[in-house]
A and B are shown apart, each in its own frame.
Chain A
């Protein structure tokens, strides 16, 4: 009897248990989110990009097809097309190896970069309408509307890209005019970087203001920027615009890679004086030689000069180097005062961008993309993506290409995602983000080269000069 009660009790338990099991085991996995779809709020059918070398897809000191395909706008268009759209985005492709002073990584430890003057050719100069990517490497904000003949301008500025990108007078004399012909539904606009980089990358020796010595004055910037956005908005009544702001110079490896003190060639660590302090480099500050301080920025091309003794005191052991005792020339140092000038210009430009974009008259159709904050964050904390940490460090940080100024392919992916985030949240679209890790990483050389002795980066100064030339527009 006792056993019988237990028996039925056990079966009741087993029955309940079985039901629980069946119920739980068969429960379907819940759906996660909704599959991305473009939404109907934004028309992406005709996309135009206006910008400078960044928007053009310039990398490693040159413009070439295999980098242009990763220009952030092209990446965004690919994401839009992944949702079944068929948006065409024609870029002024340059055949390999490109046009410019192209840099090639030859060795990582020690860092050795080779430079080659390359002369690729435009591939699709017969394209029957203006290019969708109208970004001109080296352009400043002023160039958007400047009707100076672009062929003449290319010669004056020793910059072939005005001619290559704008190409035919039949399409109009400026980036803006050619954009207008395409009657865009969406415009990517990122301008103004060179209005301060020209100054900063020349170590404060040249600039884009009327004197040619300073960044573009903010009053001029404000006027031009407002005119640009308003003119674009007037192309048609529905066109929408995404505008990026300007990153700080102190996040750009071109300015932050070489320390202000002397580095031991063998250990890669600072050389210390008898008090255990780092020994400052010597550079031209305010017109005369002076010891550098932590707030002075030594520009990337100075690396090769330091290797020959520039910036080092003429005492043992440095005096073995031929140029020991000579200060780093002015154009290789952005001293603390000049850093302040550049930073102040950037703050003003970004304030102008904010103000113009957020004006209620425009705000419904323009979104600002805060690249400034994103890169500051990358500098402070890094950007962790699928187990890989990106930083603003030179080469190894992964965001910047070999020239230390322009984004790498993955840097473009990160920029593209910042644009997508802003566009999606502003306009209610749902463009999927770019898989940053599917873009090419640091291209390794196929074979190792002999190690050099000096550990400072051997980035050919000449090659970078060419990049600097791009920024110093006038």
Chain B
């Protein structure tokens, strides 16, 4: 049965879809969203995500809750291997990474805060019977970061912060094995946890300020199950069962230079995501058979940068915001596949905030325009053209408790 041993394993090559690039989400506060995420020199409860050192400049106790509705759309034309430019549209879905922040500043320059947000996530869904079903049908990855932080004002101009990340994540990936008639449906699902930390520094030299924050890599160890919907004749080959894998959520550096006056803030921001930590993905099967074997998949993502600029103008209780960002994708052409049709992109944002007494309502809108991406020579034999765009709508309610 040598041939079965060596061959059937091919059926199981995991969707390269597993965890794809740009599955980073940077919108964790409507105010920052309105400014294209250039928020390292500003301070608000949402600074826990962007630069926790900002907490030291907040007053009293603050609470903020919000969400970002993400409406992505994508289409694929191809595959060229079939000499076709037939178009397939991704199934419409709405995602809502949400956030929750609580901060408290003492009079001694010491501030505490805790934030919950979803900085890595991904969802894509293609028609069940589409031409790329052997690669991916549906992918869904969610991460929940629980991030307590301590910030300390060393001087009126300088604050620092340190935080701890506890991460819970879930993942579900489904696709088809079309080698057989009837086809086999594969669903891998799991959950896991990991830990990390974050630090921040904010230097305020009026009117110029410098912000820097770092969030460490978090290795999430997943355990879950592989389920196969299949003909019983495949039972001995594809028993399914428990699986294990781990993914390193990459570390992030954010830096910014802010210029502010009484009613204007302008920030030029830079973000670096060390995606190169995502090099290989190993999937371990508890039960191995000739067809169901451990897999090591090559990913080899590239480190990427985001360049952003954000502006806020305050008219008393009202604030208006705008921003623009250029976001690079970490995936080389040959690894691009439809579970995450990633591409370099421009992001345009608008936002507004209004304060009623202790309550502030912030809205942020972002339009993401991915560059049209034509990929040739993909490892999965799926060359073609991707066009994607997304609308994001963020809202946050912030309440100053006292």
Contact = CB atoms under 8 A, between A and B. Distances in A.
Nearest to B131: A386
B160 to A, nearest CB: 31
Given A385-B381, A387-B15, A396 B7 contact: yes
Interface in B244-275: 261-264
Contacts of B84: 36, 432-433, 435
A196 B13 CA distance: 36
Contacts of A20: 324, 348
Interface residues of B, number: 65
B322 interface: yes
A6 B369 contact: no
B82 A432 contact: yes
A386 B261 contact: no
Contacts of A6: 261, 264
B179 A393 contact: no
B3 A384 contact: no
B131 A435 contact: yes
Contacts of A398: 179
Interface in A387-421: 387-389, 391, 393-398, 417, 420
A444 B230 CA distance: 10
Nearest to B337: A387
A447 B7 CA distance: 22
Interface string B317-342: 00000101000000000000100000
A29 B134 contact: no
A351 interface: no
Which of A111, A417, A448 has most chain B Cβ within 10 Å?
A: A448
Interface stretch (A9-17, A91-99, A201-209, A311-319): A9-17
B87 to A, nearest CB: 9
B235 interface: yes
Contacts of B382: 386-387
Interface stretch (B89-97, B106-114, B180-188, B354-362): B180-188
Contacts of B324: 17, 20
B367 to A, nearest CB: 6
Nearest to A420: B83
A330 B99 CA distance: 75
A395 B3 CA distance: 9
Interface residues of A, number: 69
Given A32-B77, A111-B4, A388 B233 contact: no
Interface stretch (A102-110, A127-135, A165-173, A282-290): A102-110
B316 interface: no
A441 B181 contact: yes
Given A29-B387, A391-B10, A396-B11, A108 B311 contact: no
Interface string B10-44: 11010100000000000000000000000000000
B135 interface: yes
Contacts of A193: none
Interface string A71-100: 000000000000000000000000000000
Given A32-B77, A396-B3, A386 B387 contact: no
Contact of B2 (A33, A259, A383, A438): A259
Contact of A109 (B4, B263, B311): B4
Nearest to B315: A7
B293 to A, nearest CB: 13
B379 interface: yes
Given A108-B237, A396-B10, A25 B369 contact: yes
A455 B1 contact: yes
B1 A432 contact: no
B224 to A, nearest CB: 22
A36 B83 contact: yes
A30 B83 contact: no
A137 to B, nearest CB: 24
B83 A432 contact: yes
Interface in B136-187: 136, 175, 178-183
A434 interface: yes
A46 B374 CA distance: 38
Contacts of B232: 447-448
B85 interface: yes
Interface in A286-322: none
A444 B181 contact: yes
B264 A386 contact: no
Nearest to B17: A387
A430 B136 CA distance: 29
Given A10-B313, A444-B180, 4 more contacts: A108-B237, A268-B4, A384-B379, A395-B3
30 contacts: A3-B262, A20-B324, A24-B346, A25-B348, A25-B367, A32-B78, A32-B374, A32-B384, A33-B85, A108-B233, A109-B237, A268-B290, A384-B381, A386-B81, A386-B380, A386-B381, A387-B15, A387-B136, A396-B4, A396-B8, A397-B7, A420-B83, A435-B82, A435-B84, A441-B183, A442-B180, A443-B181, A444-B231, A448-B233, A451-B236
Interface of A: 2-3, 6-7, 10, 13-14, 17, 20-21, 24-25, 29-30, 32-33, 35-36, 107-111, 253, 257, 259, 263, 268-269, 382-389, 391, 393-398, 417, 420, 424, 430-438, 440-448, 451, 455-457
Give the 8 A-B residue pairs with the shortest CB-CB distance, closest first. A384-B381, A387-B135, A387-B134, A396-B7, A268-B1, A455-B1, A433-B83, A433-B82
